[in-house]
């Protein structure tokens, strides 16, 4: 079996960049495509694995297969309907492992990379289901991270922006606390800083490869895919947040740091419960002709 490497972090924290650079290594593979800026977000743990119920149930598994066989991730991995049905009876974790191991084996690789958001439940699942997995966390300072997120379309009304800033800061604080907790809990989790990756790309990548147990290769410094950035120019980056909003983020982040992780976890669970059955993101099906006709559906 191949070594599972999970690159996890908040949205706009550098997970795509780090994952793509690891995939340049001759012994590491990932599910990539130019329409996804390289690495394909898995959207698996936390969305798919809570959507279809127990996969031992034939009806549940049939629904799971019919949807997932059409997803970009499974199609690019070569997991068609026939192959997926051949895996039953199975579990969510086992399906994902077999698909990724098969993908890596076909390419003669020793390890595979999956990119995902930071989720407490997901980290527990991965550590329990994959004893050989390595979890590479990446964190970014709150102001640039939130500035990048706020560059995405949202209401420009003052109240709406303040609410969005508050939610972003709380989510950032919770993400940091989750990563910190799992670093203390397991030596199979290590966190790196986006700012270090920018300032010393080679040194940081050397440390990541040492952590996952693979030798250095100069190929990881290549850049096959363009950076997935929210800004076209430095001026756009500077204008993403007002000076007042930057100060507000600093104040809110300082206030959020002392909040216990368990309390933030309960807030996150309540938010997910209010949302109900998670909707499948359009980005899961970008390569389907139906979505290619109207790129605004998923950008």
pLDDT digits (tens, 9 = 90+) for 22-38: 999 999 999 999 999 99
- Classify domain 3-218+228-288 by CATH architecture: 3-Layer(aba) Sandwich (3.40)
Segments of the chain with pLDDT less than 70:
152-158, 290-299
Strand 134-139 relative to strand 189-193, pairing: parallel
Cβ–Cβ under 8 Å, residues 175 and 11:
no
| The pLDDT value given to residue 43 | 85
Measured CA to CA, the distance from residue 147 to residue 139 in angstroms comes to: 14
Whether residue 84 contacts residue 74, with contact meaning beta carbons closer than 8 Å, is answered with yes
pLDDT of residue 156: 54
d(CA 58, CA 201): 47
User: What is the structure's pLDDT at 292?
Assistant: 60
Q: What's phi and psi for 169, nearest 5 deg?
A: -65, -45
Structure tokens at 131: 């004893």
pTM for the predicted model, two decimal places: 0.91
Summarised one tens digit per residue, pLDDT across range 63-117 is: 999 999 999 999 999 999 999 999 999 999 999 999 999 999 999 999 999 999 9
Residue ranges per domain, the chain? 3-218+228-288
- CA 233 to chain centroid, in Å, comes to 25
Where does residue 241 rank: exposed (0-12), middle (13-18), buried (19+ CB within 10 A)?
A: buried
- The pLDDT value recorded for residue 158 is 63
What is the pLDDT, as a whole number, of residue 238? 80
Check if the beta carbon of residue 291 is closer than 8 Å to that of residue 297. Answer: yes
CA atoms within 13 A of residue 257's CA, in its CB half-sphere = 6
Count of helices and strands (H, E) across the chain? 14, 7
């Amino acid at each position: 079996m191949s070594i599972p490497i999970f690159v996890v972090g908040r949205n706009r924290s550098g997970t795509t960049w780090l994952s793509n650079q690891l995939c340049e290594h001759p012994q590491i593979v990932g599910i990539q495509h130019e329409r996804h800026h390289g690495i394909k977000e898995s959207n698996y743990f936390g969305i798919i694995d809570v959507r279809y119920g127990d996969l031992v149930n034939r009806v549940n598994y049939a629904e799971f297969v019919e949807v997932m066989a059409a997803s970009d991730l499974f199609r690019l991995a070569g997991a068609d309907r026939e192959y997926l049905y051949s895996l039953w009876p199975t579990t969510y974790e086992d399906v994902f492992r077999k698909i990724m191991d098969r993908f890596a084996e076909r390419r003669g690789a020793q390890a595979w990379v999956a990119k995902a958001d930071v989720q407490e439940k997901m980290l527990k699942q991965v550590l329990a289901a994959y004893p050989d997995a390595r979890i590479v966390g990446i964190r970014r300072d709150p102001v640039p991270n939130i500035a990048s997120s706020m560059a995405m379309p949202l209401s420009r009304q003052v109240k709406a922006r303040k609410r969005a800033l508050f939610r972003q800061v709380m989510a950032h604080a919770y993400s940091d606390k989750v990563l910190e907790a799992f670093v203390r809990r397991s030596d199979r989790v290590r966190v790196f800083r986006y700012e270090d990756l920018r300032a010393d790309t080679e040194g940081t990548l050397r440390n990541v490869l040492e952590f996952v147990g693979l030798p250095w290769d100069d190929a990881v410094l290549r850049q096959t895919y363009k950076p997935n950035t929210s800004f076209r120019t430095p001026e756009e980056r500077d204008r993403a947040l007002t000076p007042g909003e930057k100060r507000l983020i600093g104040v809110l982040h300082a206030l959020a740091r002392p909040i216990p992780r368990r309390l933030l976890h309960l807030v996150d669970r309540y938010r997910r419960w209010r949302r109900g059955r998670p909707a499948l993101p359009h980005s899961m099906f970008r390569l389907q002709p139906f979505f290619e006709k109207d790129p605004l559906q998923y950008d």
